[in-house]
Amino acid sequence: MMTGFCIGDISIDCADPPRTREFYAALTGWERQTLWGCPALVAEPGLAILFMPCDFAYAPPVWPERPGEQQKQMHFNFQVDDLAAAVAEALRLGAAKPAAQYGGKQFVTMLDPEGHPFCLCAK
């Protein structure tokens, strides 16, 4: 096994990278930056998330997933202290809450403004 690996950044395809970065910046409070010419956020402990423009026609993922339709390209799981408050804040910032939910009282699946699913998870 090779050693010395660490994640330098995560890239997320977007139709509107600045809007998507602003959504996640408002939701998380992470630091806004521009890295390699892309809108980006830097999370603890220094993980960079790049919001990349597409050189193809962006198709938002379908949730829940259905065969033959666009699948999710990424999925964040955010640990939160107050699940109901986090859901309300995500909705206020422009997220959507799909009807399909599988987390019970443990997590809620949301969709960011680009349609990427993410989960808010009770600590």
Question: The CATH number of the domain where 87 resides is what?
Answer: 3.10.180.10
Six-digit token string for 87: 């859901």
With respect to residue 2, please indicate whether it lies within any of the assigned structural domains.
no
CA-to-CA distance for 44 and 63, rounded, in angstroms?
28
What's the pLDDT score for residue 92? Answer: 97
Q: How far apart are CA 39 and CA 17, in angstroms?
A: 6
Tell me: do 64 and 118 sit in the same domain: yes
Listed in sequence order, the DSSP H helices in the chain are 17-28, 83-92
**Are residues 45 and 90 located together in one domain of the fold?**
no
Q: Is the pLDDT of residue 6 over 80?
A: no
The answer on 74 and 53 residing in a single domain is no
Residues 41 and 68 in one domain: no
Among 93, 71, 85, residue whose Cα is nearest residue 27:
93
Per-residue pLDDT band at 59 (split at 50, 70, 90): confident
pLDDT tens string 69-99: 887 777 899 999 999 999 999 999 999 999 9
Tens-digit pLDDT profile for residues 18-54: 999 999 999 999 999 999 999 999 998 889 999 999 8
Question: What band does 101 get if pLDDT is binned at 50, 70 and 90?
Answer: very high
Q: How confident is the model at residue 2 (pLDDT cuts 50, 70, 90)?
A: low
Residue 63 has pLDDT above 70, yes or no: yes
Q: Mean pLDDT, to the nearest integer, of 3-27?
A: 90
pTM of the model: 0.88
Q: Which of 23, 38, 57 is the last residue of a domain?
A: 57
Domain enclosing residue 14, as ranges: 7-57
Is the CB of residue 115 less than 8 Å from the CB of residue 59?
A: no
Q: Residue 5: CB partners within 8 Å, gap ≥ 6?
A: none
Give me the residues paired with residue 35 across strands: 38
How many structural domains is the chain composed of?
2
